[in-house]
Amino acid sequence: MNIFLIQITLILYVTLMHLPVAMANEQTSAGARAYQSSCAQCHGVVQHKAATGSGETARQAPPMHAVKKRYIKEYSQREAFVTAIKDWINQPDAKKARMHHAVHRFGLMPPPNIDGNSAQLIAEFIFDTEFTHEMGHSCPSKKSKCDKHRTHKCCKGHNHQ
């Protein structure tokens, strides 16, 4: 009887220990799906080879790695970052913009049709994700190796520091 109770206790313990990880993975996946369906079209890499013949990037909004970098400077703690991103998603406002140059270049982000839960998941996904240049920027030149980087067509008007 004691061995049976020990086995049941051990099974419950192992199951409960993995539950938060499984729930976190599910939330991350939901956040990734919400980001892909609602944000990536404008904040990701969009190619228009047919229009230019060169594969230059047609950007509609600042790349997500730049958005995250800017917000992390001001909101380094996860909860504050998530709240700030969620507030922006729910109600973009030029007066409250953290990236004024992006508002000037691209215009104010139109209010997306995203519910509060999805906005929360997206904000958490952005905080938890290390965006690469491929995920959120496709400038063909490397700043460390290109003196003309800031004058390149895709780089004018924003800072890569």
The pLDDT of 20-47, averaged and rounded, is 73
pLDDT digits (tens, 9 = 90+) for 85-128: 999 999 999 999 999 999 999 999 998 889 989 999 999 999 99
Angle formed by the axes of helices 64-74 and 78-90, nearest 10°: 120
Cα 34 from chain centre: 11
pLDDT of 151 > 70? The answer is no
- 3-state DSSP of 64-130: HHHHHHHHHHHCCCHHHHHHHHHHHHHCCCHHHCCCHHHHHHHCCCCCCCCCHHHHHHHHHHHHHCC
Q: Is the pLDDT of residue 25 over 90?
A: no
* Global model pTM greater than 0.75: no
Query: In which band, very low, low, confident or very high, does the pLDDT at 132 lie, cut at 50, 70 and 90?
Result: confident
Read off the pLDDT of each residue in 146-158 and give the average, rounded to a whole number: 40
Per-residue pLDDT at 17:
55
Which residues have C-beta within 8 Å of that of residue 113, sequence separation ≥ 6?
none
Could you state, in order of their start, the residue ranges of all structural domains in the chain? 2-151
pLDDT at 43: 87
pLDDT score of 44: 82
Cβ burial of 122 (10 Å; 0-12, 13-18, 19+) is: buried
pLDDT over 90 percentage in the chain: 43
Find where tokens 């080879």 sit: 49
- Tell me the pLDDT tens digit for each residue of 42-95: 888 654 444 555 555 567 899 999 999 999 999 999 999 999 999 999 999 999
How many Cβ atoms from other residues are within 10 Å of residue 82's Cβ? 22
pLDDT given at position 7: 66
- Residue position matching structure tokens 């996904």: 125
Buried-state track 21-31, b at ≥16 Cβ within 10 A, e below 16: eeeeeeeeebb
Separation CA 97–CA 122 (nearest Å)? 18
SS3 state at 47: strand
pLDDT beyond 70 at 157 = no
pLDDT at residue number 119: 95
